Amino acid sequence: MPRPRAAMRKIREVLRLTLAQGLSRRAAGASVGLPYTTVADYVTRARGAGVGWPLPEEMDDRQLEERLFPSKAAVQGLRPEPDWALVHRELKRAGVTLLLLWMEYKQEQPEGYQYSQFCLRYRSWQRHLDVVMRQEHRAGEKLFVDWPGQTVPIVDAQSGVVTPAQVFVGVLGASSYSYAEAFLSQELPHWIAGHVHAFEYFGGVPEILVCDNLRAGVNRAHRYEPDINATYLEMARHYGCAVIPTRIRKPRDKAKVEVGVLIVERWILARLRNRVFFSLAELNTAIRELLEWVNHRPFKKFAGSRRSLFEELERPALRPLPPQRYQFATWSLARVNIDYHVEVDRHWYSVPYQLVGKQVDIRLSATTLEVFCGHRRVASHIRSFKPRAFSTQPEHMPEAHRRNLEWTPSRIVVWAQSSGPGTAALVEGILNSRPHPEQGYRSCLGIMRLGRQYGGSRLEAACLRALAVQAFSYRSVESILKTGLDRQPLPSSTPSVIRRHDNVRGSAYYQ
């Protein structure tokens, strides 16, 4: 839209006063009633366009306006346009900013755009990209991980049972370089294995893991302080990266992996829809072949592919893999019993006796069990799969156990005598049947509780029956009381008498 005639008259007057009369820009502005900045802009534009004073007689207002205020099309034709795709790619490098790229651009093109126009034109070009491409992710910074909703059936060749396989997907932020692998479930062991295999596929580790609020990764979702699963957090610490869950109901936080999941579903899973797989290994072989094709497939709006962009930008920025692969382990809480043992999977492991009554953290791997108290490891055992057994280390036992512990074998026997000699004899038999008497404390305390529940007389009768059948365990006494066998007479040790009767045939009948 052309400027009004009054505005053009003021422009002519500014040029006369500054170029011909030699007035300062501030004085010229005061004379025509314009701000200093506006006068300075007019003078700069005139000198840049080669306009002096006096103006040519044939130059009218329209021609003067076109010289001082050229259209965008004319400016674009006069000024070299940067390679915006290259600018967008360079921004993914660590420490690279638009200001730095503009300075390099001006060194090559002194007549090019100023910084403000450079930024505006880049943002305008950026708006024409896909949403996932518009996000600016620094190389080596983030790995987005998720499980697609689509599964792949695996058929058992013998039984014909069909198992739906879940597909783990990981996408690097800067290059969109992707990883995919099928697992039998979305449980924690497979979730951790997917990360470990992805790191090894990339040949390095990113700074941040961005995951959804799934149970395998986040115990309790929260907008500001989510509770990360202990095993997932330990794995991240092993590889030196951080875990940042996405906000609840904020799909843009994981737009990169959503597009990566869509690509995996369209270009990998959809192409395998008509194939029948009889094993997980067979499925993963097919997925890996198509994954390589996806990563080498050229971009539509950029030069190169995910693979080339990964090699150029992402791989040098990834952190190196640690010397050893992470070994999967689960974490749980336990309270140390008075016998200074903790129970894990129906097996009892000893800890230092000073921790009796305290809550400890249990780390359980395929081969070892570790006990931590206050982030300090206090015990370590070889994992045992033998149920109802004890793993006791001598150094965990007190040197003077009878003097230092509140509960001792003698005190338990004395208590049992208050209920009756049968109870005392059974308790003493339980303590003597264990490699260490302390290992029988738990059973004895359980018998004490049974006395409060059923009464001392019934407990004494149950213990006598347990002694008669040589059943030295808490469960035997509990079963006798529950079934009421304590009210029945004890089995007699005298031989039974066989009565004569016409219907009793005798052993000779069967010969």
> Residue 306: which CATH number?
3.30.420.10
Residues 160 and 284 in one domain: yes
The residues, any chain, with a CB within 8 Å of residue 89's CB and separated by 6 or more, are 302, 309, 313
Query: pLDDT (tens digit, 9 = 90+) per residue, 267-314?
Result: 888 888 889 999 999 999 999 999 999 999 888 767 788 899 899 888
Question: Is residue 322 a part of any domain in this protein?
Answer: no
How many other β-carbons are positioned within 10 Å of the β-carbon of residue 258?
20
Angle between helix 441-454 and 456-468 (nearest 10) = 130
Residues 89 and 29 in one domain: no
Q: What is the pLDDT of residue 394?
A: 81
Residues 155 and 283 in one domain: yes
Q: Is the pLDDT of residue 426 over 80?
A: yes
Inter-residue contact 168 to 145 (CB < 8 Å): yes
Q: Which residues pair with 482 in a beta bridge?
A: none
Q: What is the pLDDT of residue 403?
A: 42
Residues 152 and 286 in one domain: yes
What is the C-alpha separation between 54 and 15, in angstroms, rounded? 9
What is the C-alpha separation between 392 and 384, in angstroms, rounded? 12
Question: Is residue 501 a part of any domain in this protein?
Answer: no
**SS3 (DSSP) at 348:** strand
Residues 242 and 217 in one domain: yes
Q: Which of 354, 380, 400 is the last residue of a domain?
A: 400
Question: Is residue 509 a part of any domain in this protein?
Answer: no
**Angle at the Cα of 145 from the Cα atoms of 141 and 150, rounded to 5 degrees:** 155
Least confident of 168-172, 226-230, 241-245, 414-418: 226-230
Residues 307 and 334 in one domain: no
What is the C-alpha separation between 173 and 137, in angstroms, rounded? 5
Q: Mean of the per-residue pLDDT values for the chain?
A: 81
Residues 396 and 411 in one domain: no
Residues 449 and 375 in one domain: no
Mean pLDDT of 403-412: 60
> What size, in residues, is the chain?
511
pTM of the model: 0.55
**For residue 427, with 0-12 CB atoms within 10 Å meaning exposed, 13-18 middle and 19 or more buried, which class applies?**
buried
Exposure b/e, 388-419, CB count within 10 A at least 16 = b = eebbbeeebeeeebeeebebbbeebbebbeeb
Total of domains in the chain: 5
Q: Is the pLDDT of residue 452 over 70?
A: yes
Q: Is the pLDDT of residue 507 over 60?
A: no
Mean pLDDT of 240-259: 67
Give residue 111's domain range: 77-128
Mean pLDDT of 454-463: 87
Q: In what order do the strands lie in the sheet with 359-365?
A: 329-335, 359-365, 368-373, 376-382
Residue 11 host element (H or E): helix 5-15
Mean pLDDT of 90-98: 75
Per-residue CA distances from 82 to 45, 69, 91, 174, 220 (Å): 23, 22, 14, 21, 47
The DSSP secondary structure of 124-192, one letter per residue, reads HHHTTS-HHHHS---TTTEEEEE--S--EEEE-TTT--EEEEEEEEEEETTT--EEEEEES--SHHHHH
Backbone angles phi, psi at 150, to 5 degrees: -80, 140
Residues 283 and 239 in one domain: yes
Q: Which of 250, 283, 317 is the last residue of a domain?
A: 317
Mean pLDDT of 250-264: 67
Q: How confident is the model at residue 226 (pLDDT cuts 50, 70, 90)?
A: very low
Mean pLDDT of 82-95: 77
What is the C-alpha separation between 427 and 446, in angstroms, rounded? 11
Q: Given 3-state DSSP classes, what are the helix, strand and coil percentages for the chain, each rounded to the nearest 5?
A: 50, 15, 35
Residues 288 and 311 in one domain: yes
Residues 353 and 435 in one domain: no
Query: pLDDT (tens digit, 9 = 90+) per residue, 317-332?
Result: 999 999 999 989 988 8
Q: Where are the beta strands (DSSP E) in 351-415?
A: 359-365, 368-373, 376-382, 389-391
Residues 202 and 267 in one domain: yes
Q: What is the pLDDT of residue 183?
A: 94
Q: Is the pLDDT of residue 221 over 50?
A: no
Question: Is residue 511 a part of any domain in this protein?
Answer: no
